[in-house]
Amino acid sequence: MTAHTHQTLRHPLKFRTLQVLRVEQLTPHMQRVVFGGDELHGFISAAPDDHVKLFFPNTSGDIVTPVMGSNGPEYPPGRDYSPMRDYTPRHYDVSRNELTIDFVLHGDGPASLWAARAERGQQIGMGGPRGSVVIANDFDHYVLIGDETALPAIGRWLAEMPETTTADVLVEIPDAEDRQPLPSPAQVTLTWLERRGTSADRSELLEHALRALRIPAGDTFYWIATESRRARNMRQWLSLERNVPKDWLKAKGYWKTGADDSDDDG
Protein backbone atom coordinates (compact mmCIF):
# COMPACT_ATOMS: atom_id res chain seq x y z
CA MET A 1 0.00 0.00 0.00
CA THR A 2 1.37 3.44 -0.91
CA ALA A 3 2.01 5.76 2.03
CA HIS A 4 0.62 8.99 0.48
CA THR A 5 2.59 11.27 2.79
CA HIS A 6 1.45 14.88 2.98
CA GLN A 7 4.10 17.47 3.75
CA THR A 8 3.52 20.23 6.30
CA LEU A 9 5.67 23.33 5.83
CA ARG A 10 5.96 26.33 8.13
CA HIS A 11 6.78 29.81 6.81
CA PRO A 12 7.98 32.80 8.84
CA LEU A 13 4.92 34.97 9.51
CA LYS A 14 5.17 38.33 7.76
CA PHE A 15 2.73 41.23 7.55
CA ARG A 16 2.90 43.29 4.40
CA THR A 17 1.26 46.31 2.84
CA LEU A 18 0.46 45.79 -0.84
CA GLN A 19 -0.74 48.03 -3.63
CA VAL A 20 -3.43 47.24 -6.18
CA LEU A 21 -1.85 47.13 -9.65
CA ARG A 22 -4.80 45.97 -11.76
CA VAL A 23 -8.42 44.90 -11.43
CA GLU A 24 -10.24 42.65 -13.86
CA GLN A 25 -13.80 41.37 -13.60
CA LEU A 26 -13.36 37.70 -14.56
CA THR A 27 -17.05 36.75 -14.41
CA PRO A 28 -20.19 38.42 -12.99
CA HIS A 29 -19.36 37.12 -9.48
CA MET A 30 -15.54 37.06 -9.53
CA GLN A 31 -13.23 40.06 -9.35
CA ARG A 32 -9.52 39.47 -9.99
CA VAL A 33 -7.15 41.86 -8.21
CA VAL A 34 -3.42 41.86 -8.92
CA PHE A 35 -1.24 43.21 -6.11
CA GLY A 36 2.36 44.38 -6.05
CA GLY A 37 4.73 46.48 -3.98
CA ASP A 38 8.21 46.25 -2.49
CA GLU A 39 6.98 44.34 0.58
CA LEU A 40 5.70 41.50 -1.60
CA HIS A 41 9.25 40.37 -2.50
CA GLY A 42 10.05 36.95 -1.01
CA PHE A 43 6.38 35.86 -0.91
CA ILE A 44 6.06 32.07 -0.59
CA SER A 45 3.04 29.86 -1.18
CA ALA A 46 3.78 26.15 -1.51
CA ALA A 47 0.31 24.60 -1.78
CA PRO A 48 -2.71 25.46 -3.95
CA ASP A 49 -5.04 25.69 -0.97
CA ASP A 50 -2.78 27.99 1.04
CA HIS A 51 -4.40 31.09 2.41
CA VAL A 52 -3.35 34.58 3.36
CA LYS A 53 -5.08 36.92 5.78
CA LEU A 54 -6.15 40.12 4.05
CA PHE A 55 -6.74 43.28 6.10
CA PHE A 56 -9.31 45.74 4.74
CA PRO A 57 -9.79 49.43 5.65
CA ASN A 58 -11.34 49.99 9.11
CA THR A 59 -14.20 52.43 9.74
CA SER A 60 -11.73 55.35 9.48
CA GLY A 61 -10.44 54.02 6.16
CA ASP A 62 -7.09 52.94 7.66
CA ILE A 63 -5.37 49.57 7.31
CA VAL A 64 -4.37 48.46 10.82
CA THR A 65 -2.52 45.14 10.77
CA PRO A 66 -0.72 43.40 13.63
CA VAL A 67 3.04 43.75 13.89
CA MET A 68 5.35 40.96 14.99
CA GLY A 69 6.22 41.53 18.67
CA SER A 70 8.27 39.40 21.03
CA ASN A 71 5.14 37.34 21.85
CA GLY A 72 3.94 36.98 18.27
CA PRO A 73 1.54 39.22 16.33
CA GLU A 74 0.29 42.27 18.27
CA TYR A 75 -2.07 45.06 17.28
CA PRO A 76 -0.98 48.65 17.90
CA PRO A 77 -2.81 49.84 21.06
CA GLY A 78 -5.77 52.22 20.75
CA ARG A 79 -6.37 51.61 17.05
CA ASP A 80 -9.52 50.25 15.44
CA TYR A 81 -8.45 46.90 13.86
CA SER A 82 -8.91 46.22 10.17
CA PRO A 83 -11.45 43.53 9.28
CA MET A 84 -9.51 40.41 8.31
CA ARG A 85 -10.56 37.64 5.89
CA ASP A 86 -8.93 34.53 4.37
CA TYR A 87 -8.04 34.44 0.66
CA THR A 88 -6.18 32.07 -1.65
CA PRO A 89 -2.99 33.19 -3.41
CA ARG A 90 -4.25 32.32 -6.91
CA HIS A 91 -0.89 32.99 -8.57
CA TYR A 92 2.40 34.57 -7.59
CA ASP A 93 4.58 35.69 -10.48
CA VAL A 94 8.07 35.91 -8.97
CA SER A 95 9.68 37.62 -11.96
CA ARG A 96 7.07 40.42 -12.00
CA ASN A 97 6.55 40.36 -8.23
CA GLU A 98 2.77 40.21 -8.73
CA LEU A 99 0.23 38.37 -6.61
CA THR A 100 -3.20 37.54 -8.05
CA ILE A 101 -6.20 37.07 -5.76
CA ASP A 102 -9.71 36.27 -7.00
CA PHE A 103 -12.56 37.66 -4.89
CA VAL A 104 -16.11 36.30 -5.00
CA LEU A 105 -18.59 39.17 -5.26
CA HIS A 106 -21.28 37.77 -2.99
CA GLY A 107 -22.72 41.19 -2.19
CA ASP A 108 -22.03 41.63 1.52
CA GLY A 109 -19.11 41.98 3.93
CA PRO A 110 -15.99 44.16 3.96
CA ALA A 111 -13.94 41.91 1.65
CA SER A 112 -16.52 41.44 -1.07
CA LEU A 113 -17.51 45.13 -1.01
CA TRP A 114 -13.87 46.26 -1.09
CA ALA A 115 -13.10 43.99 -4.07
CA ALA A 116 -16.14 45.24 -5.99
CA ARG A 117 -14.78 48.81 -5.79
CA ALA A 118 -11.03 48.07 -5.88
CA GLU A 119 -8.93 50.47 -7.94
CA ARG A 120 -5.31 50.73 -8.98
CA GLY A 121 -3.20 52.42 -6.29
CA GLN A 122 -5.29 51.33 -3.29
CA GLN A 123 -3.54 49.61 -0.39
CA ILE A 124 -4.33 46.45 1.51
CA GLY A 125 -2.68 44.57 4.39
CA MET A 126 -1.67 40.93 4.12
CA GLY A 127 -0.36 38.32 6.55
CA GLY A 128 0.97 34.88 5.70
CA PRO A 129 0.77 32.25 4.45
CA ARG A 130 1.87 30.89 7.79
CA GLY A 131 2.21 27.36 6.48
CA SER A 132 1.32 24.98 3.69
CA VAL A 133 0.10 21.41 3.60
CA VAL A 134 1.34 19.91 0.37
CA ILE A 135 -0.92 16.99 -0.46
CA ALA A 136 0.82 13.80 -1.62
CA ASN A 137 0.95 13.64 -5.41
CA ASP A 138 0.98 9.84 -5.57
CA PHE A 139 -2.75 9.13 -5.26
CA ASP A 140 -4.32 7.28 -8.19
CA HIS A 141 -7.08 9.84 -8.47
CA TYR A 142 -8.15 13.22 -7.05
CA VAL A 143 -11.65 14.60 -6.46
CA LEU A 144 -11.90 18.38 -5.98
CA ILE A 145 -15.23 19.81 -4.85
CA GLY A 146 -16.11 23.41 -4.16
CA ASP A 147 -18.32 26.42 -4.56
CA GLU A 148 -17.09 29.65 -6.17
CA THR A 149 -14.88 30.55 -3.16
CA ALA A 150 -12.90 27.37 -3.89
CA LEU A 151 -12.32 28.25 -7.55
CA PRO A 152 -8.98 30.01 -6.91
CA ALA A 153 -7.60 26.95 -5.07
CA ILE A 154 -9.05 24.50 -7.58
CA GLY A 155 -7.80 26.54 -10.55
CA ARG A 156 -4.32 26.71 -9.09
CA TRP A 157 -4.27 23.01 -8.19
CA LEU A 158 -5.35 21.98 -11.69
CA ALA A 159 -2.73 24.23 -13.29
CA GLU A 160 -0.01 22.65 -11.12
CA MET A 161 -1.06 18.98 -11.53
CA PRO A 162 1.27 16.68 -13.48
CA GLU A 163 -0.08 15.32 -16.76
CA THR A 164 -0.21 11.76 -15.42
CA THR A 165 -2.75 12.74 -12.72
CA THR A 166 -6.46 12.10 -13.15
CA ALA A 167 -9.08 14.21 -11.40
CA ASP A 168 -12.82 14.70 -11.10
CA VAL A 169 -13.78 18.28 -10.34
CA LEU A 170 -17.21 19.45 -9.19
CA VAL A 171 -17.69 23.21 -9.03
CA GLU A 172 -20.89 24.94 -7.98
CA ILE A 173 -21.40 28.50 -9.26
CA PRO A 174 -24.30 30.98 -9.31
CA ASP A 175 -24.93 30.93 -13.10
CA ALA A 176 -23.47 29.66 -16.38
CA GLU A 177 -21.77 33.06 -16.93
CA ASP A 178 -19.65 32.35 -13.84
CA ARG A 179 -17.74 29.55 -15.56
CA GLN A 180 -14.09 30.33 -16.11
CA PRO A 181 -11.28 28.55 -17.96
CA LEU A 182 -9.42 26.08 -15.71
CA PRO A 183 -6.51 24.86 -17.82
CA SER A 184 -4.59 21.80 -16.64
CA PRO A 185 -1.98 19.42 -18.00
CA ALA A 186 -3.75 16.63 -16.06
CA GLN A 187 -6.61 14.43 -17.23
CA VAL A 188 -9.55 16.28 -15.74
CA THR A 189 -13.29 15.69 -15.85
CA LEU A 190 -14.83 19.02 -14.87
CA THR A 191 -18.51 19.40 -14.00
CA TRP A 192 -20.04 22.86 -13.56
CA LEU A 193 -23.15 22.95 -11.41
CA GLU A 194 -25.23 26.13 -11.65
CA ARG A 195 -27.46 27.13 -8.75
CA ARG A 196 -29.64 29.51 -10.79
CA GLY A 197 -31.13 31.40 -7.86
CA THR A 198 -30.76 28.86 -5.04
CA SER A 199 -28.56 30.22 -2.25
CA ALA A 200 -25.03 28.82 -1.84
CA ASP A 201 -25.75 27.55 1.68
CA ARG A 202 -29.03 25.79 0.82
CA SER A 203 -28.07 24.21 -2.52
CA GLU A 204 -27.44 20.45 -2.66
CA LEU A 205 -26.02 20.22 -6.17
CA LEU A 206 -22.54 19.25 -5.01
CA GLU A 207 -23.86 16.65 -2.56
CA HIS A 208 -25.95 14.95 -5.28
CA ALA A 209 -23.08 15.07 -7.79
CA LEU A 210 -20.68 13.61 -5.23
CA ARG A 211 -23.03 10.68 -4.53
CA ALA A 212 -23.36 10.02 -8.27
CA LEU A 213 -19.61 10.15 -8.97
CA ARG A 214 -18.08 6.92 -10.27
CA ILE A 215 -14.65 6.71 -8.69
CA PRO A 216 -12.02 4.63 -10.50
CA ALA A 217 -10.31 1.76 -8.68
CA GLY A 218 -7.29 2.71 -6.59
CA ASP A 219 -6.56 5.34 -3.95
CA THR A 220 -8.47 8.62 -4.23
CA PHE A 221 -7.84 11.89 -2.41
CA TYR A 222 -10.87 14.13 -1.78
CA TRP A 223 -10.67 17.90 -1.26
CA ILE A 224 -13.78 19.92 -0.37
CA ALA A 225 -14.25 23.65 0.26
CA THR A 226 -17.74 25.13 0.57
CA GLU A 227 -20.00 26.75 3.15
CA SER A 228 -19.11 25.20 6.55
CA ARG A 229 -22.18 23.03 7.15
CA ARG A 230 -22.06 21.60 3.65
CA ALA A 231 -18.32 20.83 3.86
CA ARG A 232 -18.86 19.08 7.20
CA ASN A 233 -21.78 17.02 5.84
CA MET A 234 -19.85 15.90 2.76
CA ARG A 235 -16.84 14.98 4.90
CA GLN A 236 -19.09 12.91 7.18
CA TRP A 237 -20.76 11.19 4.25
CA LEU A 238 -17.43 10.25 2.66
CA SER A 239 -15.98 8.88 5.88
CA LEU A 240 -19.12 7.05 7.10
CA GLU A 241 -20.66 5.87 3.81
CA ARG A 242 -17.56 5.50 1.66
CA ASN A 243 -15.01 4.65 4.39
CA VAL A 244 -12.57 7.25 3.08
CA PRO A 245 -9.57 7.32 5.46
CA LYS A 246 -9.04 10.57 7.38
CA ASP A 247 -5.76 11.37 5.61
CA TRP A 248 -7.33 10.95 2.19
CA LEU A 249 -9.86 13.67 2.79
CA LYS A 250 -9.61 17.40 3.45
CA ALA A 251 -12.87 19.31 3.89
CA LYS A 252 -12.94 22.92 5.02
CA GLY A 253 -15.65 25.50 5.54
CA TYR A 254 -14.58 28.51 3.46
CA TRP A 255 -17.40 30.65 4.85
CA LYS A 256 -20.23 30.33 7.32
CA THR A 257 -23.78 31.28 6.58
CA GLY A 258 -25.01 34.26 8.61
CA ALA A 259 -21.62 34.89 10.21
CA ASP A 260 -18.58 36.80 9.17
CA ASP A 261 -15.55 34.73 8.30
CA SER A 262 -13.45 36.14 11.16
CA ASP A 263 -15.02 33.68 13.64
CA ASP A 264 -14.69 30.62 11.39
CA ASP A 265 -13.25 27.48 12.93
CA GLY A 266 -10.45 27.42 10.34
Ligand X SMILES: Cc1cc2nc3c(=O)[nH]c(=O)nc-3n(C[C@H](O)[C@H](O)[C@H](O)COP(=O)(O)OP(=O)(O)OC[C@H]3O[C@@H](n4cnc5c(N)ncnc54)[C@H](O)[C@@H]3O)c2cc1C
Binding site for ligand X (CB under 6 A): 51, 85-88, 102-104, 106, 108-112, 149, 152, 200, 254-261, 264
Kind of pairing between the strands at 52-55 and 123-127: antiparallel
Tell me how far, at minimum, the Cβ of 39 lies from ligand X, in Å.
20
Distance from C-alpha of 167 to C-alpha of 213, rounded to nearest angstrom:
12
Tell me how far, at minimum, the Cβ of 5 lies from ligand X, in Å.
22
φ, ψ dihedrals at 134, nearest 5°: -90, 115
Nearest residue (CB) to ligand X, 111 versus 167: 111
Tell me how far, at minimum, the Cβ of 98 lies from ligand X, in Å.
16
Nearest residue (CB) to ligand X, 142 versus 254: 254
Tell me how far, at minimum, the Cβ of 132 lies from ligand X, in Å.
11
Nearest residue (CB) to ligand X, 149 versus 220: 149
Tell me how far, at minimum, the Cβ of 154 lies from ligand X, in Å.
10
Nearest residue (CB) to ligand X, 196 versus 211: 196
What b/e string do you get for 73-94 counting C-beta neighbours within 10 Å, with b at 16 or more?
Answer: eeeeeeeeebbbbbbbbbbbee
Nearest residue (CB) to ligand X, 132 versus 149: 149
Cβ(104)–Cβ(180) below 8 Å: no
CA angle 230, 10, 140 (to 5 degrees): 55
Give the nearest residue (CB) to ligand X.
109
Q: Which helix (H) or strand (E) holds 126?
A: strand 123-127
